Amino acid sequence: MHTALAFALTGSGRLLEAHPATVRAVELYEDVATRDPAAHTAGLATALDNLCAASNHLDRLREAVEAGGRAVDVRRRLASADPGTHRAPLATALTNYAAVLRQSGRDIEALRAHTESIELVTRLVEERPGAYEQTLGLQFLGLGVTLLAALREPAALAATHAAVLLLERGTGSGSPVREGPLSTALTNLARLLLTQSQGLRAGTDWRERALEASARAVEINRRRVKANPFALAEDFAQSLRIHAEALTAAGRAAAARTALDEADLHSFGTRPASRPAHVPDVPYDPHEASDVMDAVELSVFRYTARVDVARYGNHLLPRLYRALPRGGEPADIPLLEEVAAVQRGLALHDPDPSSRAGHTFLLASTLLSISDELWRAGRRPEALEAMERAVEAHRRLASMNPGRYRKGLVGMLRMLAVRQKTAGRHRDARASRREARRHRWPFGGNAG
């Protein structure tokens, strides 16, 4: 009853009256959840979500943060018991919590919560294609802005590109509501492409991409502004200004002037300032901040490299290398496999042939490391399979440049033969030795 009352009061704008009703709903759910957790814990989590939002509406940030944190804790317990049902609500609770943390100036905690939410929704998108793309797109849209503010240009561009790709999947109906975030993402993408540093522009088609993105944003906003001129005119004007910049960069000065003239016709001046959305008054350790931003970037590039490995794989690899264990720590075989998957993608799709050879060589080295770790762990069949994949990579290298890579192939085949023999696969070992002799002949006789 109190939940319904709070909802009705909030909907009618009576926020001061809605807040006590929301608090009372939490208290009641706490009582019944104690007596019957299975039936009422999810209701308690929802009540806490509502209290977080209600407190935030009234600028009671301390209460909002407390309620948001409790909601995350409850959702996390539910998700650990039933991931299929409760991971999506946990991701939403984390997003809400990140928002109020950021408004309270607790940027590092906010980024941690946001990153965890993105990782959860990314897994949901992989498991249920079509169900969560819009949610993940909105997550990346907001994250792109945060990364740009932190001067992490490549990751900001990647996050915004991911937002465009995800949001455009949900706009087939042409709904203005669905197209709004997409137009914002397109405008942001064009702006990032136009303002990125010279080093990031080198060798890219940034002018064409910026022009295409800004033109699509203008097209969408032109439709939207007809439906609601007063509310959406400034969005339309802003997209026209960015499009004018893209046209200028492409050398189309006359078309740029036309776009600016149209923007002036639809602009009503700056919007009235709202209450501050961020109070940056919480001290934090710069090293901790850097670590958190690195984790955010890793999440962004993990997703974008899966979508477009040729564009983003080279951004992801160094971050994966930094995440590998150091100094005698136990090997992280799944992480090594992830490194190998990116190297394999770059070896296949990098437009530069010399780079493809380099990625193939690195792939062979990573696969050998995986094989060594598996062998030491006593997982011999998996170790042999990884080494066979390393040998296959060396075969590709030898076919590209026999003089440079054939000797490495011979060494790998001999190593494979030793391990095959140790594992009792004598026939395979003999075949590997014969192949090694065939490849060794051009530079040392028929020994071995």
Tokens representing residue 374 in the block: 């598996």
Q: Is the pLDDT of residue 262 over 80?
A: yes
pLDDT of the residue at 239: 94
**E strand or H helix that includes residue 49:** helix 37-57
Nearest to 45 by CA among 82, 5, 8: 82
pLDDT of residue 386: 97
- Tell me how far the alpha carbon of residue 265 is from its chain's centroid: 38
For residue 227, the model assigns a pLDDT of 84
Q: What is the DSSP letter of 324?
A: S
- Exposure letters 316-353 (e unless 16+ CB within 10 A, then b): bbebbeeeeeeeeeebebeebebbbbbbbbbbeebeee
394 vs 119: CA distance, rounded Å? 35
Q: Which of 95, 125, 122 is nearest to 110 (CA)?
A: 95
Greater confidence (118 vs 278) lies with 118
pTM of the model: 0.79
Among the listed residues 68, 55, 69, the one whose alpha carbon sits nearest the alpha carbon of residue 6? 55
151 sits in the region (left: phi over 0; alpha: psi -120 to 50; else beta) called left
- Whole-angstrom Cα distance, residue 180 to residue 192? 18
What does the pLDDT read at residue 282? 56
Top pLDDT among 345 and 29 is at: 345
- Which residue did the predictor score with more confidence, 60 or 386? 386
Q: Which amino acid is at 336?
A: L
pLDDT score of 15 more than 70: no
Q: What angle, rounded to 10 degrees, do the helices at 286-307 and 107-127 form?
A: 20
pLDDT for the residue 152: 87
Give the tens place of pLDDT for each residue, 136-159. 999 999 888 888 877 788 999 999
Which whole number is the average pLDDT over 421-448? Answer: 81
Is the per-residue pLDDT at 10 higher than 80?
A: no
Residue of 29, 4, 104, 110 lying closest to 63 (CA atoms): 104
- The residue assigned the tokens 């792109």 is 144
Two structure tokens written together for 388: 């066979």
Rounded to an integer, the average pLDDT of 370-395 is 96
Residues 6+ apart with CB under 8 A from 329: none
* pLDDT greater than 70 at residue 281: no
Residue 293 has what pLDDT?
Answer: 86
- CA–CA distance, 265 with 3 (Å, rounded to integer): 46
What sign does the CA torsion over 46, 50, 56, 59 have?
A: negative
Write out pLDDT tens, residues 202-239: 767 899 999 999 999 999 999 988 888 888 888 899 99
* Amino acid type, 370: I
Q: Which of 198-202, 222-226, 340-344 shows the highest mean pLDDT?
A: 340-344
